[in-house]
Structure 1
Amino acid sequence: MVVRGVPNSGKSEWIDALLCNINESSGWTFALFSMENKVRDHARKLMEKHLKKPFFSAGYPGSVERLSEEDLARGKEWLNNTFHLIRCEDDCLPSVKWVLQLAKAAVLRHGVRGLVIDPYNELDHQRPPSMGETRIYESMLTKIKRFARHHSCHVWFVAHPRQLHQWNGGPPSLYDISGSAHFINKCDNGIVIHRNRDPKTIPLDQVQVCVRKVRNKVVGTIGDASLSYNRITGEFMDIDQTAKR
């Protein structure tokens, strides 16, 4: 699954919330290659979504119950049992082969069912002079698809758009992904996350989940869904559910 959207549209937040929901409903565990997130900050956001309470109390209006010490202990145990980090802390960029090798180990040792690569530009894309950029991306995506199918492991692949000088403020196209159209051609599912930035139209906490490609009709259909983002807990909820609250 390729997930994209303009910067600060909530791609990573939405994926994190999705992982928490899948874990709660189906018990899946995950490997995370998420180099744009600091480990502690990422752990905090995941715990907030899982426990539905904020880590901090400052800065929120009204009376908001924050995580207790007991909540924190349960949250740490849940994190350790649910997520396995793939990190590269030195100065060099890791290759997709390196990431998939560690993800394979997580599948075999811990039984993880999902891998998140967020974002793909944190990978090393060096290529020999005889190989064009398009060929590099095609080879990378082919390796990821083979890994997913061979190990029965779902892969979420976050891709950034090209330059946004012609962006009109609406949800971008999957074909605008920086690098190559192979992203939309190779993926089984393509989703665009779009956050409203104009308070005169719809609330600023409203997020559009735009399903733009579904290869297998059993998985779902093309269409859009509007969700409300809870900034305090990081949850995404149906608009109707938010109104009832």
Structure 2
Amino acid sequence: MATMQNGTAGIADGRAVSLRTTATAEAFAEARGISATTLDRLRVGSGTVWFRDLKAEREAIVFHYFAAGSSEPTFWKARPADGEKTFAALKGGKVSFYNLDAVLSGDLKVVHIVEGEFDTAALVEAGVPVDQVLSVPAGAREKREEGPDDSDVFRGYGYVKDALQAGLSNAEKFVFCGDADGPGRSLRQDMANILGAARFHFVDWPKGIKDANDFLIAEGPAALRQYVRDRAKPWPVDGLYRLSELPEPPTFEIWSPGFPEWESKVKLARGTLSVVTGHPGHGKTALWAQIWFQVVQEHDFPILVASFETRAKPHLRRTLRTLLTGRLEKDMDDAECAAADRWIEARYLWAVHPDGRPDLRWLLDRAEVAIVRHGARVIQIDPWNRVESHRDSRKETETEYIGRCLTEIYGFAQGMNAHVQILAHPAKMDGKVRGTAPQLEDISGSKHWDNRVDQGFVVHRKKMFDGGERCTEATLFHRKARFEELGHPCQLNLNFEMASRRYRSTDYDAGGYGR
């Protein structure tokens, strides 16, 4: 029997593992309600596999991924047959939906989508035809799951695009049977966006049931088959619905901005719209470049930055290099710069209009590609006044135009399940208010900047210079938080440390906790 290695060695003898299952593998599957007949129909095999997490070889149950019309696997994933919760996978293999070859060979009248190979087996065990079940290759994850070579094979949804081009686009109906948790609901929303609501249906599992395999173990194959057949609901599009027809929204994917001192005062979330304002030169771009860097570093997902006043090269690159290494760019050697650039390359996308005159439609089109193709979860537009206006001044006031734009952006953020942030300059402030921190309604053009967003921030420096010396103190005002999960209005004090070129929270310096 072939021995497979998870790591640099690959498959020891250069061939796929045996398509026969051992008694141990069959016993493991049987404990999850899966018969040997179902394993055989899905061409599940066995082998001795090296598991990096366990630092040992173990007998394993192996799920093969085949290209359409091919008898040779293009990819495999293995689970230890003793039940340990880890996996191994083929290094450098072509990642796709699991069981895609069988589905593409069927009539494509209905395609069920689950979140794991055992869930695929559960539906087949329940009597769903083997050519009607797909599994996403890595399930829904809060972070991307690393492959055996720490590659990016599980980032984004490129495998969905490949499958649609290979013929999956001809399917008449999709039924999503994914996990009943926050990541599963986010995946369901993404799949509905990509595959289209018109053909998309979904199953909500009963309370206490997480997925198809759970249901199979709890209720048996006949009950699972009937449940999936009878409880699939069409994805709502437009109109009036009963409460039972509405899918549960994704649980907010909450991110800390990277300052532990802020505790629950400020949080950021996927699927929301925020605006940042402040007087020119007060540090809006620099502070939020650091905050988003800290979020991306912690959660490891891509971000799209549409920066029209601060260039990606050399300015934002310099900032990110320094934030990543803790060293000023001028003190870094070529190797350090190259390593930092590789990190940036894997996580940052840049929207650059060829004529320097982007409009909102152009921006949202690029943002959609960044989200669907590359897995971006944050879109930042900096600044708003560099976005070309398509307002007809004879028919629409500036306030109406900005309200319309913000409504479209808000819908985009929710529909694409991404955080969209806009940096916008305030109108000129004269008289008594000159030099004070602006309000959201002071943003140039419309009071809609206050009422149409989920969160509003102001970056303000009380003094720029003191006796010729540069002042480095700054304040972030959290002016608005529509949802309690996002924190609450407060004032947070910072200091920009010149030596490290980064902001540090100072609310605890004197024993205080901010306001």
TM-score of the alignment, normalized to the shorter chain, above 0.5? yes
If asked which structure has higher relative contact order (CA below 8 Å, sep 6+), I would say 1
Q: Larger radius of gyration, structure 1 or 2?
A: 2
In structure 2, give the amino acid aligned to 1:220. Answer: G
* Corresponding residue number in structure 1 for 2:325: 51
Q: Does 1:222 align with 2:489?
A: yes
In structure 1, give the amino acid aligned to 2:461. Answer: R
CA apart distance, 1:82: 1.1
User: CA–CA distance in 2 between the matches of 1:151 and 1:199?
Assistant: 46
Deviations 1:200-242 (A, max 9, x none): 8xx8111101001000011101101101112343311122688
- Conserved? CA contact 2:493–2:507, under 8 Å: no
Deviations 1:71-109 (A, max 9, x none): 101111011111100011315x21111101001000011
* Corresponding residue number in structure 2 for 1:35: 308
CA apart distance, 1:28: 2.7
Q: Does 1:11 align with 2:284?
A: yes
Q: Does 1:150 align with 2:415?
A: yes
* Corresponding residue number in structure 1 for 2:377: 113
Q: Does 1:175 align with 2:441?
A: yes
Matched position secondary structure for 2:423: strand
* Corresponding residue number in structure 1 for 2:453: 187
Matched position secondary structure for 2:346: helix
Matched position secondary structure for 2:341: helix
Deviates more, 1:110-119 or 1:26-35: 26-35
Deviations 1:46-88 (A, max 9, x none): 21122211112xxxxxxxxx22222101111011111100011
User: CA–CA distance in 2 between the matches of 1:240 and 1:183?
Assistant: 28
- Conserved? CA contact 1:48–1:233, under 8 Å: yes
* Corresponding residue number in structure 2 for 1:67: 332
User: CA–CA distance in 1 between the matches of 2:447 and 2:418?
Assistant: 23
* Corresponding residue number in structure 2 for 1:63: none
Structure 1's 86 and 236: CA in aligned 2 closer, same or farther, altered over 3 A?
same
The runs of at least 4 aligned residues of structure 1 exceeding 4 Å deviation read 240-243
User: CA–CA distance in 2 between the matches of 1:8 and 1:204?
Assistant: 12
Matched position secondary structure for 2:487: coil
* Corresponding residue number in structure 2 for 1:80: 345
Matched position secondary structure for 1:37: coil
In structure 1, give the amino acid aligned to 2:376. Answer: V
Matched position secondary structure for 2:494: strand
The number of aligned residues is 232
| Residue ranges of structure 2 left out of the alignment (5+ in a row) | 1-273, 511-515
Identity of aligned residues (%): 26
* Corresponding residue number in structure 2 for 1:204: 471
Deviations 1:156-181 (A, max 9, x none): 11010101323432211111100000
User: CA–CA distance in 2 between the matches of 1:154 and 1:163?
Assistant: 28
In structure 2, give the amino acid aligned to 1:177. Answer: I
User: CA–CA distance in 2 between the matches of 1:168 and 1:182?
Assistant: 22
